[in-house]
Amino acid sequence: MTLAPKQKRPAGKPCCEPVVYPDVERADAERMAEIAKALGDPIRLTLVDVLRKHAGRVCVCELVPLFFVSQSTLSHHLKKLRDAGIVDSERKGLWAYYYVRPDALKELSAWLS
Amino acid sequence: MTLAPKQKRPAGKPCCEPVVYPDVERADAERMAEIAKALGDPIRLTLVDVLRKHAGRVCVCELVPLFFVSQSTLSHHLKKLRDAGIVDSERKGLWAYYYVRPDALKELSAWLS
DNA sequence: CGTATCGATTGACAAATATCGATGCAACTG
DNA sequence: CAGTTGCATCGATATTTGTCAATCGATACG
């Protein structure tokens, strides 16, 4: 697959024919980029890693001591993951249990490989 | 795998034993988060998609018209991808040809699946 | 040589983000 | 009921990000 121009453009005319096009639809790209963005922080990526290793649910009070940030900051990160649809939570009395939504990472994972 | 506390903590004592730990090392998480962050924008994700579909190299002048942003903005996005180690470029005369670095996405892809 | 073109860089600016401490709220304990 | 606990939200602040127009450096063309 060879493309791209070899000569300077004749002035006025376009540099080259547009030969390449994306395979992903714009909406798909936006959805996947949102997921990727949410994973684009070491704390959040690690959070997902921890949650994924547990089929069950993990209490927030167990997550907080794993990172050197305040409780409110961690809560903020969890919210970002929730907003991106990667995790969800369930409240039980005082405690909140988080878990990774099944298939949340599927599309991005498929695209990546 | 059951964890997490069931009773309010006795005052002074910790809420619960830390039972869960991440499987990824901190350095790994940081590396992967950096990649994910770079992919966390629709334009950049689409750029990678376009470049990936071409074993060869793609000229910047072909990439610009694919997006509704200025040339300088696209250049900025390409730099982000370069800084993250996802793509690299080669200059040939006036033109710059970009390509996805092999294996750049491997680690993240493996972790995701 | 002088001029046009490609692509990167700079400077500016608004918007989004990460972080914290303080506060709020629901629910448990005594 | 009063006090305490777990977690979310708010307000403030510093940093990062996306974007553009303008400029720059190198290269090509005439």
CB atoms within 10 A of CB B74: 19
**Cβ atoms of A49 and A33 closer than 8 Å:** no
| pLDDT more than 90, % of chain B | 73
B26-39 vs A26-39: helix crossing angle, rounded to 10 = 150
Contact with chain B for residue A44, Cβ under 8 A: yes
pTM attached to this predicted model:
0.89
> Strand C closer than 7 Å to the CB of B72?
yes
Residues in chain B with CB shorter than 8 Å from the CB of A94 are 8
**Lookup result for tokens 């039972």:** B19
Strand C nucleotides below 7 A of a protein CB? 4-11, 17-23, 26-30
**Please, which residues have CB within 8 angstroms of residue B81's CB and are 6 or more apart in sequence?**
B38, B44, B47, B48, B87
Confidence at residue B88, expressed as pLDDT on a 0 to 100 scale: 97
- Percentage of residues of chain A with pLDDT beyond 70: 82
Judge whether B69 is closer than 8 Å to chain A, CB to CB: no
Q: Which residues of chain A have pLDDT under 50?
A: 1-4, 12
Q: ∠ CA(B97), CA(B88), CA(B55), 5° rounding? A: 65
B90 in contact with chain A, both atoms CB, cutoff 8 A: no
CA of A68 to C1' of D20 (A): 38
Closest by CA to A16, choosing from B56, B91, B59, is B59
- Residue A37, sorted as left (phi over 0), alpha (psi -120 to 50) or beta, turns out to be alpha
Amino acid in the structure at residue B54:
H
**What confidence score (pLDDT) does residue A3 get?**
43
State, as a whole number of angstroms, the distance between the CA of B15 and the C1' of D5. Answer: 9
3-state helix, strand, coil in chain B (%, to 5): 45, 10, 40
In tens, the pLDDT along B74-103 reads 999 999 999 999 999 999 999 999 999 999
> Tens digit of pLDDT for each residue in B50-72?
999 987 789 999 999 999 999 99
Interchain CB contact of B91 with A (< 8 Å): no
- List helix spans (H) across chain A: 26-39, 42-52, 60-63, 71-83, 106-112
Identify all chain A residues contacting B113, using CB atoms and an 8 Å cutoff. 109, 113
